[in-house]
Structure 1
């Protein structure tokens, strides 16, 4: 901080004064240039970043004179670690030095907030790459995700980072969308409980969690990135918004807007979304940061702003507080608008107040603030790798098995383009695939065991790639067929190459027109099946694919999504039987003739009917997953038959492990509402819990369910709990129901809102 002496009048310097008083005092002292500077970010290393995204170098230019740009202060520093490969200790020293420059250059000496991506772990060189969000959802274990996020947050804090741009809370609506791999799943309850756990973990480490992308982004037309969204208010309220509500309650301190427009209004310019709903209805007091370049997009792409000044004014008025990743509209254009009274100073002060409040809460304005990093900067230690391995193992889903798994004493032909590729384990926001691909001369930074390498540790293996992810030759496929004939079992590892904007088959900007396996991979699979040898398909992908043409001929199907740097070892452990698979699908796999968009959250006429020739029934439904030792369901029941509209009911499920190896069951509770004001999903998840069972063990699961969990948005446009008959469907997937419990909600209809109960309480006992 500056060396000026603190005077009684300088309340903003007093760490013991109320935060609001400190902020008010500081705002009153600042010039327009100093105010606007706090609403800007700087991407100092953008020239070294490579072409990460379209329009990147159109809207973001590397600062030519850092001292000049920061002489009035600066709000945020963009991706000091996530722009180029840089050793953690070098990056930490660079960040500390930059913070000291910012402090010394400006009159008030206010440090910047440093932010980084952290979706699959901190997106920095030599940092552990954890499993992708689809894997988080597949675990059905929020506590495990909370532990993972806390560890990610700890690594960020030690480097001097303050804010993480995660989690993604978009609910999957169309599997063709490239960013499906960044989502947690297709169900708002699963996304909300898992995302809230991630928030709690990250925030427990002192890192500001940023909820993405508020709101509706994943419902773009035809699954095309940034495309318009056409969605009614009830779908928006009942599917899109609940995960954000749950994560805000969990303590998230920042929100990032969606790129898309909903019914013609871009989120970045929508005050009904960013102010009326987020601030007034939800009571959010943190910061809203612009998704990269989205303020400029109001002018350049959406054509709702006449220029950069107009874009800045609209975004600020709507409720965006900070322009990221670097200064553009919130620079000279905004200052000019203020000077000529075309921009209201009140909206600038409103955003500034939120920014300074957060900086004070982070301790950045305290006299003892120091940018010096932690001494321990090992970002890929044994504990982190062990946790990444645990998440991976608990997320792998066994979709089908005719008895060929687990593998034992078999000679294997390991085939396919993803079998011997370290990058096959990672999503597009992992550092190696997000940044490292632009620096091919630099090593990956973390050790990754491929599926082939892991299987070779315990099995006799012959390998042939067969084809790349996209492209390939007839000779390569013929080579794989010959290898298949030399083995007892074929393990075919297929899937996606994650990348950005056309540099992959999955990832941001990598949308698809259909759900066939990319390239010639289906042709390879058919050729191997043609040998008559048993085929185990392993999928490492960012989305489900249509396997309906091969499903009944495959000996087994295992889905890993993107299981992180420890995923190869985890998959080998599951295939070999050392780990009993316990993952469940967070997204459905499409069936033959299925159309998109389609998820299990459909009313009756959204399912198979006699009035349409298109059958949307999934091949593998949401919640599905098999085990080598299936649990025995002893009983399921409910204590009550009447359920007060303002009270609880209790569901009891008894499960037993009759097998000789440990197992796990995911008890899933779905709501079926036979009659409502609007067409509702036939079945919707309202609670789920994973139960571990030792050999011979019996456990009783008790779920305490509040009537708020039955609420929905009615014809009047508000969320309500109705009296009347409902059913609780208890089972092991959205399509496999063991017991249907009939109850009657009694009492008056109730209107509920943000403060409603959104999760059940689970207890387990012997």
Structure 2
């Protein structure tokens, strides 16, 4: 081991802050024993007292506030922050979150302080997964369906978390979840099929700029598989993530998701044993194993076995430990006297400045979807407001939010705002109040009356009318109204009330699927079927809809607040099945609007809803995410006109009758996902949002009407506030490729800017547009390419509302037809496909194509390829068994059958062989090649041979 000079004070090199970071890290690493190093690979890295190294835990949740550590400022959900389109706001929010995270690091609540060591300053945020499918259970965690938008906001959030000190981090941002993770149902076993264009243009595009900017210190691998290979052993960790980081001067510290390393064996069955799986994950680039909770011994034992079996080396371990130590040095762990953030005290948590920022954030993220003049309500013409709905007088926490320090509900906010002016607010939840009396015992279920809230899919909560606590299934299968806030991994507060004979109902737990029954005189949720279930007499004590209707009829305006509970029917581990409002909520809305036409709908939700009826019949519709403690004050200000709705939608709101693609169809191009490729008109498009004022966009000018493929231009326009109120506008710049040789997006966002203008004020904006913003992934060259030809620059208020356009020509040599002769062509590099899926070539590398269903042939299309001189074709294939019937490949040029190749059984999906045959006739010229895969064939690559070259 080479010696490292110590400081003048005689300190070891790793304690010397004047030395380069790498030298300090290497010195400490070399002082650690092999056992101490391997122990650091678990999430709970133990202390090394002899070196003064503290225990270290990877990961604190910091998505929109500090989570799981007690009361902390709660900001709008990430999807809400995405609606702000405001990078500076996200930076400020993240700064506040990281400041509070620092406070908790040193000043922990007593109930939490007993945990091992201080909470981590590694912040597991932001989430950069794209909101491809609005039914995703974790939709609330992402920013946008667009990669440019997501990357810009993600970079801003990282900057706020990290701080701007040149040496020390305030917290260490970790990007989640790499990669292509947008479904919850069976998430640990489903595979996201990504052909190269989708991979490069969409999913990687959200992560690439953030990593390359050097603002992220780490990333977390996702639960799912991509192209048949678990993300925790993906070659993309090294080939993409770490390659992007090379120019930043720092490597990425990559962590696993919880229990995901164990999933490699069970339930994924990708490896035969855990030592093999953990070893493969370490080799692929996982540096820290979040597995088995605080039980380090199991995980370290598996890794030690992998080392003994030669599956990993000491160098693999050292590389992971080195990356961890670098982050710890940058967080100031070894220089407490120099750490600029060490003096942060507990008084910053939920301080007045953070509360004000939380309120401002809700205003900036509230989207006015429709307004026929009802809003703003104004104090002069609004003396009595009925605030109605299940979310009118309550706020929800989600799984990754902190504990709310207080709640300012919509009803609270309007009451406070109107009360000083003599106005009145009537609060009506609109829920039925019922009792459920056992037919067998005659006793009331829970001994109480319950308020019933419909959350959709016939799932309800039952809240004790006296205590406000939710009925909850206990561990002993009894039912007790004990839950004050629904926030647990296993939600046991939802039930189904199923109609039975004689107007009775059955009570069924959603969590277990079992029914309430009378056993030994007690009601327990133990019946396996309806026949064994107890019958309950349902008595209506209060008709919620009638009460809401009466309140609305007696008011000047009704504000109906509907939406989701973040832990019910769409959450981590559970996707939504559709985008419809819960039936009971929709019925309540219609009943209110029937008697009070002056009704504004506020959708408070983690995701889009199909509010078609409301859009057609109501004068005003707004959306906000679950916005945290200041939601009510901010929404009251927006509703009354004291603040402007400044948000724009970060994802498409589809119509209710729009048949969405299958949740597992990750090919946004072929399936037609997002504003880029979806053809049907949306209810509300990406980027949509109205204002209380009017804006004019004029005088679009481009500095160059024609640029070369590596050129650039400036697009300049003037935006003016032509209304009577101040307001914010999000100027959105899109591009469109005209007559593209590939299936180009309908539009693609390339830049945006949010500006605030006073009445009569105008501002000139200039967007710098390098030609590479026009690039697409060219499967022929395996690189991003800017095609010459015509383009259109579009200034828009949303993806469906262009206001200015300018033509642009890109000059340069026309792309030549792709030559397939004497070249190894990857099967995944097709131009179009049908009924195919992408799978893994080996457990460590490579992609192949196979039919999605062996009974249905898959077709791959390679457009405009040069086959001149080809006389033979060979293919690299694998076939696991004969159980899939006949397996063959067919090659056609246009309608001409060129070759048929029978594919033999290789016995294993990773056992590959090369098969080939002569073509039916020599070929000349350029053709569209159609390749059909029949049966259980897996195709990795093929090659056309010319005369004289065949074996």
Flag the structure with larger Rg: 2
Q: 2:558 aligns with which of 490, 493, 511?
A: 490
Distance across 1 between alignment mates of 2:814 and 2:174: 35
Shift of 1:215: 0.9
1:744 aligns with 2:710: no
Contact 2:736 2:746 in 1 (8 A): yes
SS in 1 for 2:191: coil
Contact 2:222 2:232 in 1 (8 A): yes
Q: 2:98 aligns with which of 153, 157, 174?
A: 153
SS in 2 for 1:178: coil
Shift of 1:357: 2.4
1:539 aligns with 2:603: yes
SS in 2 for 1:646: coil
Contact 2:336 2:342 in 1 (8 A): no
Q: 2:78 aligns with which of 133, 139, 145?
A: 133
Shift of 1:581: 1.4
**1:61-460 mapped onto 2 (5 Å cutoff):** 74=46, 102=47, 104=49, 109-113=53-57, 115-123=59-67, 124-160=69-105, 161-204=120-163, 206-218=170-182, 220=183, 227-250=190-213, 251-270=215-234, 272-280=235-243, 282-283=245-246, 285-324=251-290, 326=294, 327=296, 330-366=299-335, 374-408=344-378, 409-410=381-382, 411-423=384-396, 426-432=397-403, 444=404, 446-457=405-416, 458=418, 459-460=423-424
Higher helix fraction: Structure 1 or Structure 2? 1
Counterpart position of 2:936 = none
SS in 2 for 1:672: strand
1:477 aligns with 2:539: no
Deviates more, 1:280-289 or 1:682-691: 280-289
Offset from partner CA, 1:202-234 (integer Å, 9 cap, x none): 11152110000011112x488968633122221
Counterpart position of 1:95 = none
TM-score for the superposition, normalised by structure 1: 0.81
SS in 2 for 1:399: strand
Contact 1:211 1:252 in 2 (8 A): yes
Offset from partner CA, 1:274-318 (integer Å, 9 cap, x none): 112222355261200111111111122211122221221011011
Shift of 1:532: 5.0
Distance across 2 between alignment mates of 1:224 and 1:524: 35
Counterpart position of 2:887 = none
Contact 1:121 1:128 in 2 (8 A): yes
1:40 aligns with 2:42: yes
**1:11-22 mapped onto 2 (5 Å cutoff):** 11-22=13-24
Shift of 1:335: 1.6
Distance across 1 between alignment mates of 2:310 and 2:351: 54
Contact 1:234 1:713 in 2 (8 A): yes
Shift of 1:109: 2.9
Contact 2:601 2:620 in 1 (8 A): yes
Counterpart position of 1:763 = none
Structure 1 pair 238–531 and aligned structure 2 pair: CA distance change class (3 A):
same
1:659 aligns with 2:632: no
1:24 aligns with 2:26: yes
SS in 2 for 1:596: coil
Contact 1:721 1:749 in 2 (8 A): no
Counterpart position of 1:46 = none
Higher strand fraction: Structure 1 or Structure 2? 2
Larger RCO (alpha carbons 8 Å, 6+ apart): 1
SS in 1 for 2:265: helix
Counterpart position of 2:795 = 730
Counterpart position of 1:87 = none
Distance across 1 between alignment mates of 2:662 and 2:74: 31
Counterpart position of 1:720 = 785
Distance across 1 between alignment mates of 2:38 and 2:178: 24
SS in 2 for 1:537: strand
Contact 2:212 2:245 in 1 (8 A): no
SS in 2 for 1:681: coil
Q: 2:571 aligns with which of 495, 507, 523?
A: 507
Shift of 1:672: 0.4
Counterpart position of 2:582 = 518
Distance across 2 between alignment mates of 1:221 and 1:510: 5
5+ residue gaps, structure 1:
43-72, 75-101, 433-443, 609-613, 751-766
Distance across 1 between alignment mates of 2:265 and 2:25: 32
Distance across 1 between alignment mates of 2:323 and 2:814: 38
Deviates more, 1:598-607 or 1:523-532: 598-607
Distance across 2 between alignment mates of 1:334 and 1:519: 51
Aligned residues: 665
Contact 2:7 2:13 in 1 (8 A): no
Counterpart position of 1:56 = none
Structure 1 pair 157–147 and aligned structure 2 pair: CA distance change class (3 A):
same
Structure 1 pair 130–469 and aligned structure 2 pair: CA distance change class (3 A):
farther
Offset from partner CA, 1:253-275 (integer Å, 9 cap, x none): 111111110121010011x1111
Contact 1:178 1:225 in 2 (8 A): no
Counterpart position of 1:589 = 653
Offset from partner CA, 1:80-113 (integer Å, 9 cap, x none): xxxxxxxxxxxxxxxxxxxxxx353x55534425
Structure 1 pair 349–506 and aligned structure 2 pair: CA distance change class (3 A):
same
Contact 2:133 2:673 in 1 (8 A): no
Distance across 1 between alignment mates of 2:308 and 2:766: 63
Q: 1:689 aligns with which of 730, 738, 753?
A: 753
Distance across 2 between alignment mates of 1:607 and 1:24: 47
Distance across 1 between alignment mates of 2:43 and 2:670: 48
5+ residue gaps, structure 2:
1-5, 106-119, 164-168, 432-452, 462-539, 816-951
SS in 2 for 1:316: helix
